[in-house]
């Protein structure tokens, strides 16, 4: 990754005065985000969505030349695919499962009685065959594997999904439900690493064109528990994950707006996905956090979209 320099990513337009309204407060006050009473679960205004839509189109333009196959899934996946994916090994604390009432009339009466009494009514909820999608690329691996071995050129997918992660926070950039746009490459190690390298460059150019200060840094996923610490160290040491960070909430802890992940043969072995020559496929993905990039723009260019720099508006809306 030596080709990517790390320009100064250490500026914020103004510090939040201690005790004053936070960035999240200001987003609520301007109506850009709408409170639901749950941290990390927000409605969004038309203006906010106009930025998300423009970013989505910009990402499409950046990837247009490669002819990625577009697939869209609902923000949920099959529980059995989720179990096989290995997500619960790494991130049991972030997973969201869909449970439903499967009882009879007596069970229903109990629910109503609990509600009336203000006690826990969820005791009869049972796990369904549906779980919430944790990352936009998760549903695509079994779909690709079901088609048989990859063609010699490998495959490239274009995905977007709402993703769920149980990580409530007062930082507006850490939501429980957010949209992730992804390109996913499957093929040989050379093919998928070349893909990741080219997106490191394209993603950096895109964010610079949007007038955002940024830095590319090695990163790791928040693997759970003590064993997870080793996995995280390993991921960093092997250069498997990079993030494009922009200061949004603070300069000290900048926010990952894009991520560039090399999974080696993890998903290939998990899903029996093979290259044309029969060896296990390697995969990589680039993920764009659509709300996070929008929030970075709002933080740096202000909460009034009409007052954003003309060059930034032109990039987004032509």
- Contact residues for Zn ion, defined by CB under 5 A: 135, 137, 285
> What does 188 bind: Zn ion, ligand ATP, none (CB cut-off 5 to 8 Å by kind)?
none
Which residues have C-beta within 8 Å of that of residue 101, sequence separation ≥ 6?
107, 108, 111, 124, 125, 126
Decide whether 150 or 284 has the Cβ nearer to ligand ATP.
Answer: 284
> What does 258 bind: ligand ATP, Zn ion, none (CB cut-off 5 to 8 Å by kind)?
ligand ATP
Number of H helices, E strands in the chain: 11, 12
Q: How far is the CB of 136 from ligand ATP (least distance, A)?
A: 8
Q: How far is the CB of 136 from Zn ion (least distance, A)?
A: 6
Q: Residue 72: name the closest of 171, 177, 209, 181 by CA.
A: 181
By CB under 6 A, the residues from 101 to 140 that bind ligand ATP are 135
The first and second tokens of residue 307, run together, are 């007052």
> What does 158 bind: ligand ATP, Zn ion, none (CB cut-off 5 to 8 Å by kind)?
none
Q: How far is the CB of 135 from Zn ion (least distance, A)?
A: 5
Q: How far is the CB of 92 from Zn ion (least distance, A)?
A: 19
**Are the C-beta atoms of residues 166 and 176 closer than 8 Å to each other?**
yes
> What does 137 bind: Zn ion, ligand ATP, none (CB cut-off 5 to 8 Å by kind)?
Zn ion
Q: How far is the CB of 60 from ligand ATP (least distance, A)?
A: 17
> What does 175 bind: ligand ATP, Zn ion, none (CB cut-off 5 to 8 Å by kind)?
ligand ATP
Q: How much is the CA Rg of the chain, to the nearest whole Å?
A: 21
Of 160, 161, 191, 259, the residue at the interface with ligand ATP (CB under 6 A) is 259
By CB under 6 A, the residues from 168 to 207 that bind ligand ATP are 173-175, 178, 180
Question: Which ranges in 97-187 belong to alpha helices (H)?
Answer: 105-117, 140-146
**Are the C-beta atoms of residues 31 and 42 closer than 8 Å to each other?**
no
- Strands, sheet with 241-246, edge to edge from the N-terminal-most edge strand: 69-72, 155-164, 177-187, 282-289, 255-264, 241-246, 215-218
> What does 165 bind: ligand ATP, Zn ion, none (CB cut-off 5 to 8 Å by kind)?
ligand ATP
Q: How far is the CB of 165 from ligand ATP (least distance, A)?
A: 5
Q: Residue 208: name the closest of 304, 302, 300, 306 by CA.
A: 300
Phi, psi of 70 (to 5 degrees): -80, 130
**Are the C-beta atoms of residues 95 and 166 closer than 8 Å to each other?**
yes
**Are the C-beta atoms of residues 136 and 161 closer than 8 Å to each other?**
yes
Helix (H, G, I), strand (E, B) or coil at 79: helix
Q: Residue 132: name the closest of 169, 161, 102, 89 by CA.
A: 161
> What does 167 bind: Zn ion, ligand ATP, none (CB cut-off 5 to 8 Å by kind)?
ligand ATP
Q: What is the x/- site pattern for ligand ATP, positions 23-52, by CB under 6 A?
A: ------------------------------
> What does 294 bind: Zn ion, ligand ATP, none (CB cut-off 5 to 8 Å by kind)?
none
Number of C-beta neighbours around residue 251 at 10 A? 13
Decide whether 58 or 184 has the Cβ nearer to Zn ion.
Answer: 184
Q: What is the x/- site pattern for ligand ATP, positions 146-165, by CB under 6 A?
A: -------------------x
Contacting residues toward ligand ATP, per CB under 6 A: 135, 165, 167, 173-175, 178, 180, 221, 256-259, 287, 289, 291-292
């Amino acid at each position: 990754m030596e080709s990517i320099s790390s320009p100064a990513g250490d500026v914020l337009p103004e510090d939040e005065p201690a005790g004053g309204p936070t960035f999240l407060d200001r987003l609520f006050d301007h109506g850009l985000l709408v409170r639901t009473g749950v941290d990390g679960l927000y409605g969004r205004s038309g203006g906010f969505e106009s930025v998300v839509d423009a970013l989505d189109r910009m990402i499409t333009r950046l990837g247009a030349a490669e002819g990625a196959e577009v697939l869209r899934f609902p923000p949920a996946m099959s529980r059995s695919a989720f179990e096989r994916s290995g997500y619960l090994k790494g991130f049991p604390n972030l997973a969201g499962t869909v449970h439903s009432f499967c009882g009879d009339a007596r069970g229903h009466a109990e629910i109503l009685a609990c509600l009336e009494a203000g006690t826990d009514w969820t005791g009869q909820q049972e796990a369904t065959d549906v779980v919430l999608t944790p990352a936009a690329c998760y549903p695509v691996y079994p779909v690709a594997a079901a088609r048989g071995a990859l063609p010699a050129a490998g495959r490239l997918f274009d995905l977007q999904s709402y993703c769920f992660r149980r990580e409530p926070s007062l930082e507006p950039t850490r939501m429980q439900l957010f949209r992730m746009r992804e390109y996913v490459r499957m093929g040989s190690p050379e093919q998928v690493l070349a893909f990741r390298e080219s997106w490191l460059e394209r993603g950096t150019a895109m964010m610079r064109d949007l007038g955002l200060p940024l830095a590319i840094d090695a990163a790791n996923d928040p693997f759970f528990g003590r064993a997870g610490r080793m996995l995280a160290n390993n991921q960093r040491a092997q250069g498997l994950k990079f993030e494009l960070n922009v200061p949004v909430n603070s300069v000290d802890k900048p926010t990952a707006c894009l991520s560039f992940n090399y999974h080696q043969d993890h998903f290939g072995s998990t899903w029996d996905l093979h290259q044309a020559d029969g060896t296990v496929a390697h995969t990589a993905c680039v993920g764009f956090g659509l709300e996070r990039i929008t929030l970075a723009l709002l933080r740096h260019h202000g909460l009034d979209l009409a007052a954003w720099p003309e060059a930034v508006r032109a990039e987004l809306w032509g």
